[in-house]
Amino acid sequence: MRHALVLAGGSGTRLWPLSTASRPKQLVPLLQGRSLLELAVARAGAVVPLDQVWLGCGEALREAVASVAGLRADRLVVEPSGRDTLAAVALGCAVIAEHDPDAVVAVLTADHLVEPVEQFAATLAAAYELAEARDDVLVTFGVVPDHPATGFGYLELGGPLQGSARTVTTFREKPELAVAEAFLAAGRSRYLWNSGMFVWRAATILRAVDTFVPSSAPVLRALGRAYGTPAWDALARDTWPTLARRSVDHGVMEPASTSPDFTVAAVPLETRWLDVGSWPAYGQALDADADGNRIGAARAVLQDSRDNVVASSDPDHLVALVGCEGLVVVHTPDATLVMPAAQAQRVKDLHARVTEVAPELA
């Protein structure tokens, strides 16, 4: 049976001050009054029945995510603390496998914008079909590059598989600009962006964890069996902190791509895909006015201003700009951020300073 696991982790520090520790970016109603998490669950529900949509999150977000429309309370998989994506993915798939040993699981992100939903559903269906046909395959989605991005990892492609799927021979780290330009010039038949979304049989990913992360595999399988039972609390308290902090890419996908026992496949994601990981990226999710301004505020007046991103969480607060160009202006009841859009990568460092001087606002 087909399932979807939506991961709602991540701190979203680059979208401070709208995104904070108590309400990270995936829970903020950034787009037409809906959060990225709500949109992600709705996308998953367009492909599989909602009672087969699962949500993975940390303990700190348990209450916040429990009210997501359409999500069943018993489909929430809560990690005791953050141990990176390998633990989150393996625990979620282990829990799903206890309910359905034949489960084929799509692991989806909660902080990306993917549209149109119909095209995404068609691509996801092709990935499900590939995972159902082969018990050795780990499918990832590759985004077709449209510029030489240095902030994304890349998938280097090999030969064809089923349909549009290709083998993945190498996972490339975030490159320098010259390397990214070479990747773009080589074309989509050679390189795709790594989307961080996957499809596989639950049994296959757990077998891969057994193979490549043998120190963590027995713990994760035991936690999956215990989840929702009286044995969970003690087992999680004693064993969860022993798990290595490791991403699923580094821990499983990279070694699997060179293993004779597994096949890593990439399916091109033929949709608009936007990683809403910075204020300029958020601006791209909004329509631009005639002067290139992108406004995510209920009340805003811009005069003689161009190419700005404006956001506010206060529907009664008016944001006004005069003679401004290329700025990001973000207002919340607790904090205001103003910066050149070209300096957006520095928000993470700024957030670290805010954590020191005003931790209640971080």
Which of helix, strand or coil describes residue 263? Answer: strand
How many Cβ atoms are within 10 Å of 361's Cβ, its own excluded?
15
Considering the domain delimited by 2-275, tell me its CATH architecture.
Alpha-Beta Complex (3.90)
Per residue in 66-88, pLDDT tens? 778 778 889 999 999 989 999 99
Residue 30: the pLDDT is 86
Is-contact 326 11, C-beta < 8 A?
Answer: no
| Domain-wise residue ranges, the chain | 2-275, 279-361
Residue 9 has pLDDT above 80, yes or no: no
Burial classification of residue 278, based on how many CB atoms lie within 10 Å of its CB (0-12 exposed, 13-18 middle, 19 or more buried) = buried
Residue 12 has pLDDT above 80, yes or no: no
Q: Tell me the pLDDT band of 25, cut-offs 50, 70 and 90.
A: confident
Helix %, strand %, coil % of the chain (to 5): 40, 25, 35
How many Cβ atoms are within 10 Å of 273's Cβ, its own excluded?
20
H/E run at residue 62:
helix 62-65
Please report, rounded to a whole number, the percentage of residues in the chain having pLDDT higher than 70: 100
Residue 32 has pLDDT above 80, yes or no: no
Residue 224: the pLDDT is 97
Q: pTM of the full predicted structure?
A: 0.90
Q: Tell me the pLDDT band of 64, cut-offs 50, 70 and 90.
A: confident
Question: Which structure tokens are listed for 209?
Answer: 């964890």
- Tokens 């490791």 belong to 246
The answer for residues whose C-beta is within 8 angstroms of residue 75's C-beta and 6 or more apart is: 51, 53, 54, 55
Q: Tell me the pLDDT band of 275, cut-offs 50, 70 and 90.
A: confident
Higher pLDDT, 270 or 76: 76
Report the distance separating Cα 313 and Cα 329, nearest Å.
Answer: 12
Q: Tell me the pLDDT band of 317, cut-offs 50, 70 and 90.
A: very high
The mean predicted confidence, pLDDT, of the chain is 94
Per residue in 193-208, pLDDT tens? 999 999 999 999 999 9
Residue 24: the pLDDT is 87
The answer for residues whose C-beta is within 8 angstroms of residue 4's C-beta and 6 or more apart is: 44, 47, 48, 52, 53, 54, 105, 106, 108
DSSP assignment of 305-357, as one string? -BS-EEEES-TTPPEEEES-BSEEEEE-SS-EEEEEGGGGGGHHHHHHHHHHH
Among 321, 281, 324, which residue's Cα sits nearest to residue 302?
321
Question: Which structure tokens are listed for 240?
Answer: 């969860």
Higher pLDDT, 230 or 11: 230
The CA-CA-CA angle for residues 251, 255, 258, to 5°, reads: 165
243: Cα separation from own chain's centroid: 21
Which of helix, strand or coil describes residue 167? Answer: strand
- Tokens 């406004």 belong to 295
| DSSP 8-state code for residue 176 | P
**Mean pLDDT, residues 232-256:** 95
**Mean pLDDT, residues 308-329:** 97
Residue 10 has pLDDT above 80, yes or no: no
Burial classification of residue 146, based on how many CB atoms lie within 10 Å of its CB (0-12 exposed, 13-18 middle, 19 or more buried) = exposed
